[in-house]
Chains A and B, each alone.
Chain A
Amino acid sequence: MDAFYHSIRFDSSRCDGCMSCMRACPTRAIRIRRQLACLLEDRCIDCGECIKACARSAIEPLTETLANLTKFACTVAIPSPALYTQFDSDITPGVILEALRRCGFDDAATLSWSCSAVTRAIEYFVADYRGQYPLISSFCPSVVRLIQVRYPELLGQLLPILSPREIAAREAKQRKSADTGLSPDQIGAVYVTPCPAKMVSIVDHPGMERSHIDSAVGIGDLFPVLAPLIRDVQRSGGKVPELETAAGLGWAFSIGLPSSLPAEDTMSVWGLPNVVRILDDIDKGRLSRYAFVECHACPEGCVSGALTVENPYVARARALRLQQSLAKRDPVDEADLRARYKRGEFGTTAPFDARPPRPLDCEIAGAIAKMKERDRLVGQLPGIDCGACGAPSCGAFAEDVVVGDIDEGACVFVRERRIEDAVRHLAGFFDLRAGSGGALTGARS
């Protein structure tokens, strides 16, 4: 089992151990040790909730800087549809794409075609699918990781279709290679990402041997560079090519559910706590009459990713407005697409693998013994999840103790009880002496 690569780093000069990130982490992957946050790598799913929670900007996403893009002969920016929602409504996607070309990228490619293509590919796949239901969307990398880590029994229900961003990167490289005569290896596809999870999926992509995307820049990092360039584009007054279709814009908050499926057979779930509830229900066999569930780790989909800048509700409203203003034209040629689907161009190329976190013990008997010990310890803890020990809950702390990560005395309540016991022990010792002394006194009088 390989260790996970993660896209975040704690800056120890800024972290003051305030526990905000530890409390915000939905998978309980953060501990505070010696007043600094640290990561339990086997549990982190790169959702970015810790980045959102940190008031001191002490958690840095390991995205690329623009200066590092020179290693490719040619770079193509591939913005997440969430990027278009980060600017005022009068700034159209065409202007943003032009600004991307001016800020150091050789070209910018959209997800319009690949989003539509993927929606069709889902339809084709669902039509022939005979496995367990519901199928679960696999485009949010945090959801995929959550399933790898915590719900390995559901891996077979993850949709084995590549994400639009991967397909867009592959197509953009082929197109650019044909245009320039460069080999596809010399062309860098750079995703403009709303979240750290999509950065991680470049290095370690479940369902693929190797990602077609080479690098990622966070929307938040790019925003201050892009904003003045956008003003330049607007001021220059020249016509810029506009998006020819609204296709794909909705993916900023929801994937395009296949129209072949009745709406009542599908479900859309946003926000990790809700995703967890749905996965729990799927686990219990409760939702097998649904055909398809789309799951997003972020509460409003990609527009609320940890690396975005705009209020997600405003961003979502803008996405809807953009959809209204652009043509509804479907950019996909059905016959061509079906042929390409049959050739396997949209399917994942590797299985989704299980990545269970470190168990209590490798042997079941040992794990049972440790769980009993954990249960015993939990019974002695106050159960108020105060966090002073550096763990997000008394249960998590008890687990840390039984696996040997920390001493029980790190709990202030355990420590207080130890002191009280010691005092009582000493007091008993002195009482005994005082008692015998008293008897002596009595004998004297």
Chain B
Amino acid sequence: MAEAEVVRTYEVQAGDFSNAGRASTSIKDTLKDLGLAAPLVRRVAIAAYEAEMNIVMYAQRGTMRLSVTPTAIVLNVRDEGPGIPDITLAMQEGYSTATPQMREMGFGAGMGLPNIKRNSDELTVTSEVGRGTHLSVRVNVS
């Protein structure tokens, strides 16, 4: 028998700041409803929110796919957008390409990807300049 799995997918629109954060709130609520431990939920919530805001701020559109199995929470985030030319640089704390407008809204501290990495057990980032970015975030349940 296939391992039990709950899947949720979300469409995220770029520039849609009024709905920004809804996908990560729903992801967090799903994990709470499943009865997962609070610290675990918080790590995923923070990673999901950073990933969602990356789409809203930088890409044209994107999808987030949450998968929960008894062993792991996996978040696949794909966007159509400018891509990341230098992933190593983008993973450094404080590095940011945010516009002054984004900074005014409290984003762009250069903590996005580093924050996702800090809150995940495994993070893979693949990106193609001019096409888009794919993040795979894994947080182990046990």
Contacts and interface: CB of A to CB of B under 8 A. Distances in A.
A208 interface: no
B45 A283 contact: yes
Contact of B21 (A281, A359, A372): A281
| Most chain A beta carbons < 10 A, residue from B25, B35, B42, B49 | B35
A365 B4 contact: yes
Given A281-B21, A368-B70, A372-B4, A360 B34 contact: yes
A368 B25 contact: no
B120 interface: no
B49 A286 contact: yes
Chain A interface, >50% SS class: helix
A365 B34 CA distance: 9
B54 interface: no
A177 B49 CA distance: 55
Contact of A368 (B4, B41, B42): B4
Nearest to B4: A368
A403 B28 CA distance: 21
Contacts of A220: none
A356 B41 contact: no
A364 interface: yes
A285 B115 contact: yes
Given A153-B41, A285-B46, A369 B33 contact: no
A375 B34 CA distance: 13
A150 B41 CA distance: 12
A134 B49 CA distance: 18
Nearest to A368: B4
A367 B38 CA distance: 16
Given A284-B45, A284-B49, A285-B115, A367 B34 contact: yes
Contacts of B115: 285
A364 B36 contact: yes
B30 A371 contact: yes
A368 B45 contact: no
A209 to B, nearest CB: 23
Interface in A279-317: 280-281, 283-286, 289
A150 B33 CA distance: 10
Interface residues of B, number: 28
Interface string A351-369: 0001010011110110111
A153 B42 contact: yes
Nearest to A150: B32
A152 interface: yes
Contact-residue size bin, chain A (C-beta under 8 Å from the other chain) = 20 to 34
Interface in A48-79: none
Interface in A337-389: 354, 356, 359-362, 364-365, 367-369, 371-372, 375
Interface string B17-57: 00001001100101011111011011001101110000000
Contacts of B5: 368, 372
Contacts, number: 68
B110 to A, nearest CB: 14
Given A365-B4, A368-B70, A372-B4, A284 B21 contact: yes
Contact of B39 (A153, A281, A375): A153
B34 A364 contact: yes
B38 A368 contact: no
Contacts of B36: 364
A364 B21 contact: no
Contacts of B28: 280, 283-284
Contacts of B24: 284
B49 A368 contact: no
Interface string A386-402: 00000000000001000
A5 B30 CA distance: 27
Nearest to A361: B35
Contacts of B30: 371
B6 A280 contact: no
A356 B41 CA distance: 13
B46 A284 contact: yes
Contacts of A364: 34-36, 70, 141
Contacts of A371: 6, 30, 33-34
A361 to B, nearest CB: 7
B69 interface: yes
A362 B70 CA distance: 12
Interface string B88-100: 0000000000000
A368 B1 CA distance: 14
B77 to A, nearest CB: 15
A356 B68 contact: no
A399 B29 CA distance: 14
B38 A354 contact: yes
13 contacts: A280-B28, A283-B45, A284-B46, A286-B21, A286-B49, A359-B33, A359-B35, A361-B35, A368-B4, A368-B68, A371-B34, A372-B5, A372-B6
6 A-B pairs with the lowest CB-CB distances in the bound complex, closest first = A359-B35, A284-B49, A153-B38, A368-B4, A153-B42, A152-B38
